[in-house]
Amino acid sequence: MVTLGELVMILDLARQGLTVSAIARRTGHDRKTIRTYIARGLEPPAYKPRP
């Protein structure tokens, strides 16, 4: 799970032109996680109701 501050930092680094791998190294998260959050943007998480 990424905090709001980390999400803003990830999006800012992506806007500056850093690669996904470079952002992953700086933040300590997996590359797939970084790609997901960049694609999603600042959208709040959508939780589904429990069964």
- The answer as to whether 50 is a domain residue is no
pLDDT tier for residue 1 given thresholds of 50, 70 and 90: confident
Question: Between these two residues, 32 and 1, which has the higher pLDDT value?
Answer: 32
Q: Is 25 contained in some domain?
A: yes
The answer to whether residue 49 is domain-embedded is no
pLDDT at site 16: 97
Question: DSSP assignment of 1-43, as one string?
Answer: ---HHHHHHHHHHHHHT--HHHHHHHHT--HHHHHHHHHHTTP
pLDDT digits (tens, 9 = 90+) for 2-50: 888 999 999 999 999 999 999 999 999 999 999 999 999 988 767 788 8
46 lies in some domain: no
The number of folded domains in the chain is: 1
What pLDDT, on the 0 to 100 scale, is given for residue 2?
83
**14: CB partners within 8 A, 6+ apart:** 20, 23, 38
Q: DSSP state, 51?
A: -
Residue 8 sits in which domain range? 4-40
Residue 48 lies in a domain: no
